[in-house]
Amino acid sequence: MGILSSIKKREETFKERLSLLEKKEPSWFLEQRRDAFKQFSKTGLPTRKDEEWKYLNLSPLSAADFGEGKTTQKVTLPDWPSLADTIIITIVNGKWDAKLSHNLKELPKEVVISNLSDAMGSRIDLKKNINHPVADSNSLLFLNTAFFDCGLFLSIPDKTAVKKAIVLWHIVTHQENSLVLPRSLITLGKSSKLDLVEFFMGQTEASYLTNNVTEIVLGESSQLNHLRIQDENKNSHHFSLTHVSQSYQSRYTSASFSSGAHISRQQCHVMMDAEKTQCNLSGLFIAGHNQQMDHHVRIDHLKPEGTSSTLFKGIVDGEAKGIFNGKVIVHPNAWHTDAWQKSNNLLLSPEAEIDPKPQLEIFAHDVKCSHGATVGALDPMALFYLNSRGISLQKAQELLTYGFAHEFQVPFDWMKNNFECFLTQKLTGLKFGGAYEEV
């Protein structure tokens, strides 16, 4: 029995986990684990009855029996030439594997990379950075907090610019119905800079559930460029929460690309809790067949003179469903806030569905805010023009879809060529749902 379906198995596994961690983790975090376990036992997995989850069909999760996994596969890293000159931190089945990581010696000596459980035992200052109140009823956060094993801690000290990008390469090799729980805490000190890539992929075709939590803390005047690529296998399920806390004049730039997993949900929550902060979020998801992709973004402007932008694009084919929920909250006294968000979506099949929901909540004066959403299909006249000049219908559809997707850009010049090839491969696999006919 898995820990999601069997109460007895869940309790036994949790007690075993605590007994192993009692000598490594501080009492304050062990108590957080106990509280999280109680909360998850009370709430269980989300359902469509929850307002924040009502568009997502989660019945395949309740039908499966996810638990601790086993693997017999050897790990192989994908061949992306542009990553050869990066620092790769390899995380296998939710655990950092130092032996499979690359170029760690090229990190500045002041940079700290370690097991998160070990770091919490030696650094009391981490207490304020772990488990922010992202959502009082976030049961998947409770599940991760209760059961994650070891985790990853990455700390960039003050006035340190890491010249080479750091790649967190998440690989799953587990067998059927495995539960994978990665956990990362990343801190940037005052005036530090970092390029970060998170890559999620499955080396197995088995059904598994990834439940990832990444917590990011940005110090004063620090800068983080963050690229996230989710390309898990189509039998898997992927849930991820990224929580960002910003200090004075810090800048957070994030680009998120999703094309994998049967059911996926990515949640990003940014707390702009200081003056003159900048936050720029962009995303592109490509869903086909019967995939479901859900993106939730929340930005809290808590102090004056913050600027934020959000642009997400969705391409939905077959009988797939895409969901975008974006919320910007301008709190009292957050005057001179400049915030906008936009969701643009392309339906390639009559059976495809997209549910965009941009939202603004403004509780301050003297602000500049806007939001909007569009849903449409490929232009029939443009298709006719290309098709009548000898370009096949399939190729014409791919060209126009590529033009729609191309506004999404990765934040690193050194990775653009590789990503362009990757994106083209994903677009070539679209079926276009028979919505158009050859001339």
pLDDT confidence of residue 121? 73
Max Cα–Cα distance, the chain, nearest Å: 72
Average pLDDT on 88-116 reads: 93
Nearest to 200 by CA among 114, 94, 110, 294: 94
User: Which amino acid is residue 121, in one-letter code?
Assistant: G
Tens of pLDDT, residues 149-175: 889 999 999 999 999 999 999 999 887
pLDDT confidence of residue 377? 95
Cα separation, 110 vs 158, in Å, equals 9
Tens of pLDDT, residues 3-49: 666 667 778 888 888 888 888 888 888 998 999 999 998 888 888 88
**Domain definitions of the chain by residue range:** 7-274
pLDDT confidence of residue 119? 86
Tens of pLDDT, residues 246-303: 999 999 999 999 999 999 999 999 999 999 999 999 999 999 999 999 999 999 999 9
Displacement of CA 193 from its chain's centroid (Å): 20
Tens of pLDDT, residues 200-253: 998 888 899 999 999 999 999 999 999 999 999 999 999 999 999 999 999 999
Cα separation, 350 vs 9, in Å, equals 44
Average pLDDT on 120-129 reads: 73
pLDDT confidence of residue 236? 94
pLDDT confidence of residue 334? 98
Please say if the pLDDT value at position 2 is more than 90: no
pLDDT confidence of residue 71? 62
Cα separation, 180 vs 169, in Å, equals 14
Q: Could you tell me the CA-to-CA distances from 344 to 158, 323, 421 in Å, in that order?
A: 38, 11, 23
**b/e per residue, 306-338, with b = 16+ CB within 10 A?**
bbbbbbbbbbbbbbbbbbbbbbbbbbeebebbe
Tens of pLDDT, residues 359-377: 999 999 999 999 999 999 9
Please say if the pLDDT value at position 72 is more than 60: no
pLDDT confidence of residue 431? 83
Average pLDDT on 136-141 reads: 77
Our CA dihedral for 323, 132, 261, 75, rounded to 10 degrees, sits at 160
Cα separation, 5 vs 92, in Å, equals 24
Tens of pLDDT, residues 334-365: 999 999 999 999 999 999 999 999 999 999 99
Computed over every residue of the chain, the mean pLDDT equals 90
Cα separation, 208 vs 237, in Å, equals 6
* Assigned token pair, 344: 């643009």
Region of 382 please: left (phi>0), alpha (psi -120 to 50) or beta. alpha
**b/e per residue, 148-169, with b = 16+ CB within 10 A?**
bbbbbbbbbbeebebeebbbbb
| pLDDT classification of 195: cutoffs 50, 70, 90 | very high
pLDDT confidence of residue 51? 84
Which region among 39-53, 72-86, 387-401 has the lowest average model confidence (pLDDT)?
72-86
SS (H, E, C) 102-134: ECHHHCCCCCEEEEHHHHHHHCHHHHHHCCCCC
pLDDT confidence of residue 287? 97
- 97 versus 1: which is more confidently predicted? 97
> Are 246 and 275 spatial neighbours (Cβ–Cβ below 8 Å)?
no
> Are 227 and 199 spatial neighbours (Cβ–Cβ below 8 Å)?
no
